[in-house]
Amino acid sequence: MSAECHTLRLGDALGNFQASLSPFEQPYEWRRANIADIQATSLTAVPILTTDDVASLAELIYPRLFVYTLAHLKFCMKDDALLVSLKANQSQWSHRDPITLLMLHQYIKDSLRGFLNRFKQNHLHSFSDIEHHIKGLCRLDVIDLATRVLTLLRDEQSRKLVFIKQGSEAQALLNLFQAIVDFPGVGVVGPPILRAILELSKKSGLFPASLVLQGVQPEGTEAAASGSYGYIWKGRTGGKAVAMKVMRGDSSSTGNIFKIFCKEAILWRHLRHPHVLPFYGVCQWPGAPLRVCLVSPWMENENIVQYLQKNPHADRRALILDIARGLDYLHTFDPPMIHGDLRANNILITPALRACIADFGLCSLVRDSSLQFTPTASAFNDGNMLWLAPEFFQIEETESPRQSLATDIYSFGCVCYEVFAGRPRFSELLAIYEVIAAVTKDRRPGRPTNAELDDALWDLMNRCWSLNPDTRPTSSEIVESLLSKSFVAYTPTKELGDWDWGKASMSPLHSTLVRQSVTAQDVIIALMGPTGVGKSTFINVATQLPSVVVGDDLESCTQDIRAIPYPHPDGSGRNIVFVDTPGFDDSERTDYEILTRISDWLKQTYQEHITLTGLLFFHRIGEARMRGTPLKNLNMFEALCGKDALKNVILTTTMWDQVNPETGNKRESQLRAEFWKPMMDHGSRVARFTSTFDSAWEITSQFDINTPRAVQLQRELVDEKKDLNQTSAFMVLVRWWEQAFSRVKSRLKAKFRFVEGRWRK
């Protein structure tokens, strides 16, 4: 066997480790099993490797990438100088203490990639194999990194050493912790590492570098609003209007405020829900690098109080349901989050006239030791006391009252009152002691005279104001009540608006890491079809977030596989993940390149035990004839799925507004009777997408989430271990190439005969 065959086999073997141990429940044991697997696999796959080569792996980070690099230099390249250099690095790294090793993680990874890049320069034909292997190895090595971090955090002495780090050392650890939390498939480690990020940020006065934005500029000469800790300015970046929450003073003179800003940024960064204001990132005030700003979408409709004053006939019940859903998202987050400052001024109205929760300056994690809170002068001055639960004022009974999920529920009831009454509860009381007395003695305000406030909702508000925190409803119970038959609240169908959750100019992490995070617990729906049939439009309408670029020119917009998660609107807490795929008519890449990208994604997810819940195949109803590109995409799709997975396929027609109904009905009947009939015979269904939110979710709800099925391409690549060029989908491409060649050949012959005839004449 050749040297490259050995390293190819090693790369495949190293990327397929599956242990019965949980890396997050038993991190130390998993690490030991991981190292043992690397050592055994390496010595078996590459005979030239010795026990000395892999002896110190337990002390290294990126152990799989290291062995893979070592094998290439030792077995393929045979460059003594590079090999000596790598060995010297190995010796140096293995003698570092565990925390220092973590701080050097980026340097170590870059060094190993540098050695492999030297190899690739001399072996260009191996480029794709190496890149494919690196992706798989790094996935396992990041899990190994996560287990190392968890092991350190569970050891009291090591925790202390982590949290005393300052400056560049603390920054390196913060960057690593944030990257681990964001990495696809490692989300289960989120709670302990998120707490570590908060603790280290608090003690070092730093935050992860991935939160930083560039190119944000304020507009105007004065702030649009102000609060206890900062000002709100309107700004702009990349042509987009944004809100800049600007810290009062700078980090050198207002250390406590800076730490509050850091905490708000870190917690807000992890939130993603239609009824929670999106967070774009952190930027510096121009000319004042120590003055920090938190960047979010600019909300032209202002807060819910201002909006209702201008729009008195707005649907208040629908807005309350929005707030409840946003609060339930926070309370059921892992770990649960307490907002801590829920009041009407912190409820903003989106461009689609929906309510979303904002201002996370007092947000905290449940069971966080820093949750002790006593109402301060600033809280009184801002009027926050009108939304505070009675336990905050019972100092004689509890010296250090704490925020809790129940205190948020109390505040939610106060927000509901303000929405219907147009003013805060007890706002008529002039003295602070009068408000405290009213709250602690359980005085209830009169019922607002608003027709939308019925008995059921008024009763729900009163239960939120219970003196006993244990008897208040939970956020989930509130949402369930608002969705029950006794309520008539409904969700508007208008799209959520024009903020952008995932543009690279806002936050590269959202687009490159968060969007790609898919787990086996998600409902995963792949969208396929030619370019321009409406795949991206479907995602934008279904998620109500214009996060996917829609193309209107000759260039294909979907250049890669993109996974866009979205909370299911039924309130179940499950994520729906829409997987946007490029069509087999890309303007910049060949059909084979497209098939390779799709197959790589399908193979990787299947190996991680992630199975598609369903597939949507899109066809533009205005397409007059089924030939060429549409027919090729259909044939490729059918071969990719296989007969069994066709039961989980919905054949979806789009752009009905571009044809008259009679023509559209006729074309749909032809598709059913001819081109789609074989697929329908195996269980595929047909649906119409009419570019509305309701239409998108009516289609999506047809999938049975309890019976996901692997597609044929996944089974061929993973179960049957076929190469891509042995799969059914590839055979379809071959037939199309042969047909295209035959057509060109026939046309050339005809042209030759025509020219020859003219010449003879």
- pLDDT tens for 279-320 read 888 988 887 777 889 999 999 999 999 999 999 999 999 999
Decide: helix, strand or coil at residue 236. Answer: strand
Q: Mean pLDDT lowest for which of 288-292, 424-428, 597-601, 701-705?
A: 288-292
Please indicate, yes or no, whether the overall pTM of this predicted structure exceeds 0.85.
no
> 511-536, pLDDT tens digit by residue?
322 334 454 456 889 898 887 788 88
Architecture of domain 304-482: Orthogonal Bundle (1.10)
- Model pLDDT, residue 488: 52
Instruction: Note the CATH number of domain 212-297.
Output: 3.30.200.20
Residue 675 has pLDDT above 50, yes or no: yes
Residues 6+ apart with CB under 8 A from 387: 341, 342, 343, 410, 411, 414, 415, 424
Residue 546 has pLDDT above 60, yes or no: no
Do residues 525 and 703 touch, judged by C-beta distance below 8 A?
yes
User: Where do we find the tokens 């650890």?
Assistant: 173
Query: Would strands 523-528 and 614-620 be described as parallel, antiparallel, or unpaired?
Result: parallel
- Sign of the CA dihedral with 46 first, then 49, 50, and 55 last: negative
Task: In whole angstroms, give the CA distance from residue 630 to residue 178.
Answer: 43
Task: In whole angstroms, give the CA distance from residue 312 to residue 516.
Answer: 42
> 416-456, pLDDT tens digit by residue?
999 999 999 988 887 888 888 888 889 999 999 888 899 99
φ and ψ at 382, to 5 degrees?
-80, -5
| Topology match between the domains 304-482 and 518-724 | no
> 579-588, pLDDT tens digit by residue?
888 876 655 5
Residue 552 has pLDDT above 50, yes or no: no
Q: Mean pLDDT lowest for which of 142-146, 635-639, 678-682?
A: 635-639
- Model pLDDT, residue 745: 62
- Domain ranges in the chain are 3-207, 212-297, 304-482, 518-724
Residue with the larger pLDDT of the pair 491 and 136: 136
Task: In whole angstroms, give the CA distance from residue 345 to residue 341.
Answer: 10
Q: What is the dihedral of CA 338, 343, 349, 353, to 10 degrees?
A: 100
Token pair of 156 as six digits: 């009291």
Q: What is the dihedral of CA 332, 336, 341, 347, to 10 degrees?
A: -30
Residue 371 has pLDDT above 50, yes or no: no
Token pair of 744 as six digits: 């060109």
Instruction: Note the CATH number of domain 518-724.
Output: 3.40.50.300
Residue 42's pLDDT band (boundaries 50, 70, 90)? confident
Packed helices 167-182 and 127-153: angle between N→C axes, nearest 10 degrees = 110
> 707-750, pLDDT tens digit by residue?
788 888 888 888 888 888 888 888 877 776 666 556 656 666 66
- How far CA 399 is from CA of 173, 341, 377, 407, in Å, comes to 36, 21, 17, 16
Q: What's the start-to-end Cα distance of the chain, in Å?
A: 63
What H or E segment, with its residue span, contains residue 668? helix 661-670
Query: Would strands 337-338 and 240-247 be described as parallel, antiparallel, or unpaired?
Result: unpaired
